[in-house]
Structure 1
Amino acid sequence: MTITHDLSAAMTMEAYHEALRELAHEKRFLEKWSSDPTFRQALTDDMEGTLEARGLRLDTEELNAIVAGGTSAVFDRLQTLAYLKMMWTNRFYHEHCQPADAAWQQWRVRQINRQVLDLGPHHAMQNIHSSLAVELNKGCSVGCWFCALSPDKKSVPLDYHSGGRETFHALITALQNELGAAVDSGFLYWGTEPMDNPDYEQYCVDFHTITGTFPPTTTAVAHKHPERIKNLLDLAAKHGSWLTRFSVLTTSLMDRIHATYTPEELALAECLPLNREADYAYGVAGRYRDYLQAHPEAAVEQRAKLRRAPWYESVKDYLNDDTHAHGSIACVTGFLVNTVDRTISLIAPVTADDAHPLGYITFAQVEFTSADDIPATVADVVARGRRLVLADDDICAIPSWVNTQIDDDALVVTGRIGGKARRAHHGNVEAMDALVNTLRQGTCNRADVIRTVATSSSVDAAWVSDAIDGLWKLGVLIEPVRV
């Protein structure tokens, strides 16, 4: 096949979509090839019959190269498209969706610095760090066994026609006023199934009306609602959405989806295989973290999947039974809203542990009672949760999993999975050592740390204060939370 569109970084979204349409059959092939060993064996046994049975119009010579472990020009172009998509999403989330407000920018940078140490630089840099997720339901009807967010199985939607519209408009408007362009990074699900809300599509249109951006969608029930899904795909394409994604839980569901939709109908939809046979490594949080604790032998399967990841070589030396490459699937460094519970929270990703089993930390959470008090509630959440500086009575501590070493120039901080940070000591080696030892105790507040180190090391209190603030900005210190 000849690709008729320029695959350059300057490609428009429209041209990108058209290139995907031209590669619809190749895309479908890869969805099965990457997730289903039975399909791979069938190709070896009877390639032409297998392709015909699935309605795939492909060049068998190119497929023979793939089956033999090689590559082909067309599939290289699919990889190029995937790379371009990554470039665009990085540009959108990390450039266009940056908060204009200096305070939000300061908070966001510190949170990402902390995640570099906690979750590793690869995880932190690949994360979209959306500023907003809005749940339009309470709970999720799907109940994936590996779900990192562990929602209740019963799902209750926000009724668009019984106050939901007013609540949603007030919410997105208030958050747009607070976040500026960063609100464009929002999406309308979290621990929820979007299709559980019968008005989901209308909320997406309203989000687009207010912000100018049509939010991405991830659904695990594409096999249940074909006409509704087709309409959603058309709606998303019409409004320029960059992503509609299907979470596909089993090989039989992938077969069902492929039988329900033509390759052309799903050209713009990403089918993400989450079946056990696929290479996807689950996030070690929520239900899957509980599963691993009950079935430690499953970690062998998880590690085997990670070894096939293109970035595995850069992280393999850091992984063990307690440190996972996917310690969180949380992708919001900002607001999480549940419109049914009427809660607005400020959150950010962390490695899942007993204190944060779902892989994110909640800095503040406040309930609103009506659409009218949403702006005040947003302001209250910000006031409570968006820490920019440490107060004198805040406990200052270094996490137990952080390693420290003082070299000739700086304190070198090493976190999980290769995360590192440096803080210059300007020749005050003794004072820096005393500061680290005091912070290791984890019992002193900021004022006490300053007084203790300044007294024991004969340095100015201003130097200690500045060093504490520097480590805080680097994300080294445990953040005091007062929800």
Structure 2
Amino acid sequence: MRDGEFYSLLGDTSGVPYDYIRDVAWTKRTLERWLVDKAFRDRFAEDAAEALRSIGSPLTPEQVRPFLGDKEEMDGDDREILLSARRYRAFLMEKLDHRAELRAHGQTTTDRRMAAWRARQMKRCNGELGASRSQAIVHAPAAFELSKGCTVGCWFCGVAAPKFDHTWPYTDEHAALWRETLRVMDATIGEPMRDAFLYWATDPLDNPDYEHFLTAFHEALGQCPQTTTAIGHKDVERTRRLLELARGRGSKVDRFSIIAVSALHRIEEAFTAEELLHVECIPQNKGAAKSFRKSNAGRARKFAHKRSDELVPEDASSTIACVSGFLFNMVDRSVQLITPCDASDRWPLGYWVLDKGTFDTGAELSELIETMIAKNMRTRLRLQDPVRLRPDVKVTVADGELRAVSRGQHLTLGQGDLDDLAECLTRGMASAEELAVRREKRAGVPLTQTLAWLNSLFDEGLLDEEPEPPASEPAPVALGMPARAAS
């Protein structure tokens, strides 16, 4: 029971009254149909009651409309909102709480270096992407691809999945390496490793043995990974078995990416609203409601000039990346250290790649992960580290204060030679030690005070940590500014 009146629906629902589940499940299904299907939206506008009857919904228009109007309507006095709508709102809040728990859970990682690095990337993303977009990113510790490429080929794929090549079957040899990989990552990351998932630039159902890998993950770590698929409608009996398997092992939320209205129709014909209570149907189809615009990342960037009305505006941040940690491809036994960023020409997939390597055994993987952590996840600034604010942070000096502002962060400083400090931080003119000495000489600020302040900027993710381009790629040089020093 939740707040005396509402039930938790992400756990065991055996004690929840049927009418409660019905209200929430059918509100969810009706809203998903409204978001996906333009024809349904048009029918609803003409005759809402008839539109609801046409999809078998037991709801009245008054039970649905609070979610189709202004936000203020849903934020009104609870006494003015129908009980079914309040129940659905409680369900939405429970899912938001679940997402917040995943974000917080990641900070309990066994390795304090990774915990500090992840916290810093979360703060950086908050500033770079904006609070709203950033809060939707859980920063999972790991993701595993069990195939090479993807059969779906969505034009908007935010990670530009290549064409499907082949998969990683669950043979005895592969099963042994899979268990060893999970053991190594569990020893390194600890409890948050349970929040990893088994797809990326792949569709999990492209691997015929996906369910075996999922079961082995649950056996090793005690938790069932979330599944997101765009082909759940193709083999509905397999999908049904997968959902039963996932729910039986405690999966709280799974997702179907809906890339065509016909796919949603087939899913709705195969599953009752109650059966899909824990499965989010995400509108990705042409004709979906404008509130579900796609990220301008990955393959979508190639089509931005043609389909800009389906993408987020150019001045909004874009990424679908949700991992601050390790991205595996088990086919080629590779691992990359990644973290989300705003998609750009430099990082079109919407995430940084800080390091990469390959492994053949658990021992090799353990050594590789430790090397990546030691190299990339320092907890404090070193004296020789260059100090420069992120490029998206804008600096002004006025009224005796230095102000640094980005989409989701701001800071002020009111001590010392601020014009000189602003120039140093913007251009990256000095190392931490050099800047501390410079401020002591120019403004009398003690070395220890400047170093402590710089470390606070570092901890907040305000200093530039963007990876350097590889040797074959020239470092970008802004007009009138020096090339960035290597970190």
**Same-fold status (TM-score > 0.5):** yes
1:351 aligns to 2:342 (yes or no): yes
Kindly provide the amino acid, as one letter, of the partner of residue 15 in structure 1: T
Could you list the per-position Cα deviations for residues 184-208 of structure 1 after superposition, in whole angstroms to 9, with x for gaps in the alignment? 1111111110001111111111111
Contact kept, 8 Å, 1:44 with 1:67, in 2: the verdict is no
**Matched residues, percent identical?**
29
2:215 is paired with a residue whose SS is: helix
The separation in 2 between residues aligned to 1:345 and 1:299, in whole angstroms, is: 31
Q: Shift in Å at residue 120 of structure 1? A: 1.1
1:58 aligns to 2:58 (yes or no): yes
Q: Shift in Å at residue 244 of structure 1? A: 1.4
| C-alpha RMSD over aligned residues | 3.1
Q: 1:61 to 1:43 in 2, by over 3 A?
A: closer
Contact kept, 8 Å, 1:394 with 1:480, in 2: the verdict is no
Could you list the per-position Cα deviations for residues 53-112 of structure 1 after superposition, in whole angstroms to 9, with x for gaps in the alignment? 54x151446468679969743233222211112113322441476324433222222111
The separation in 2 between residues aligned to 1:188 and 1:17, in whole angstroms, is: 31
Q: 1:60 to 1:451 in 2, by over 3 A?
A: closer
Kindly provide the amino acid, as one letter, of the partner of residue 28 in structure 1: R
1:15 aligns to 2:13 (yes or no): yes
Q: 1:143 to 1:162 in 2, by over 3 A?
A: farther
Q: Shift in Å at residue 237 of structure 1? A: 0.8
Q: 1:401 to 1:44 in 2, by over 3 A?
A: closer
Kindly provide the amino acid, as one letter, of the partner of residue 58 in structure 2: L
Give the length in aligned residue pairs: 454
Q: Shift in Å at residue 328 of structure 1? A: 1.3
Contact kept, 8 Å, 1:93 with 1:185, in 2: the verdict is no
Kindly provide the amino acid, as one letter, of the partner of residue 328 in structure 2: V
The separation in 2 between residues aligned to 1:434 and 1:467, in whole angstroms, is: 16
TM-score normalized with structure 2 length: 0.83
The separation in 1 between residues aligned to 2:389 and 2:4, in whole angstroms, is: 50
Q: Shift in Å at residue 359 of structure 1? A: 0.9
Report 1:14-413 matches (<5 A). 14-15=12-13, 20=21, 23-43=24-44, 54=55, 56-60=56-60, 62=62, 72-95=82-105, 98-161=108-171, 163-278=173-288, 279-292=291-304, 294-295=305-306, 298-300=307-309, 302=311, 321=314, 323-324=315-316, 326-406=317-397, 411-413=402-404
The separation in 1 between residues aligned to 2:64 and 2:454, in whole angstroms, is: 60
Partner of 1:422: 411
Could you list the per-position Cα deviations for residues 132-188 of structure 1 after superposition, in whole angstroms to 9, with x for gaps in the alignment? 111112211111111110010124222210532122111111111111111111111
Q: Shift in Å at residue 20 of structure 1? A: 4.1
2:257 is paired with a residue whose SS is: strand
The separation in 2 between residues aligned to 1:382 and 1:162, in whole angstroms, is: 30
Q: Shift in Å at residue 466 of structure 1? A: 2.6
Contact kept, 8 Å, 2:120 with 2:460, in 1: the verdict is yes
Mean Cα deviation higher: 259-268 or 248-257: 259-268
Stretches of structure 2 that go unaligned for 5 or more consecutive residues are: 74-80, 471-487
Contact kept, 8 Å, 2:328 with 2:336, in 1: the verdict is yes
Kindly provide the amino acid, as one letter, of the partner of residue 411 in structure 2: R
Kindly provide the amino acid, as one letter, of the partner of residue 42 in structure 2: Q
1:157 is paired with a residue whose SS is: coil
The separation in 2 between residues aligned to 1:4 and 1:108, in whole angstroms, is: 31
Contact kept, 8 Å, 1:174 with 1:375, in 2: the verdict is yes
Contact kept, 8 Å, 2:153 with 2:163, in 1: the verdict is yes
Q: 1:118 to 1:257 in 2, by over 3 A?
A: same
Q: Shift in Å at residue 435 of structure 1? A: 2.4
2:208 is paired with a residue whose SS is: coil
Q: Shift in Å at residue 414 of structure 1? A: 0.7
Partner of 1:438: 424
The separation in 2 between residues aligned to 1:384 and 1:152, in whole angstroms, is: 30
Stretches of structure 1 that go unaligned for 5 or more consecutive residues are: 304-319
The separation in 1 between residues aligned to 2:419 and 2:402, in whole angstroms, is: 9
Q: Shift in Å at residue 255 of structure 1? A: 1.5
Partner of 1:307: none
Could you list the per-position Cα deviations for residues 412-463 of structure 1 after superposition, in whole angstroms to 9, with x for gaps in the alignment? 32112xx1232655xx331x43222112223544444344444443433333
Could you list the per-position Cα deviations for residues 250-273 of structure 1 after superposition, in whole angstroms to 9, with x for gaps in the alignment? 212211222233334323322111
Q: 1:374 to 1:390 in 2, by over 3 A?
A: same
Q: 1:404 to 1:374 in 2, by over 3 A?
A: same
Q: Shift in Å at residue 301 of structure 1? A: 5.2
Q: 1:341 to 1:454 in 2, by over 3 A?
A: farther
Mean Cα deviation higher: 260-269 or 158-167: 260-269
The separation in 2 between residues aligned to 1:101 and 1:211, in whole angstroms, is: 17
The separation in 2 between residues aligned to 1:457 and 1:67, in whole angstroms, is: 57
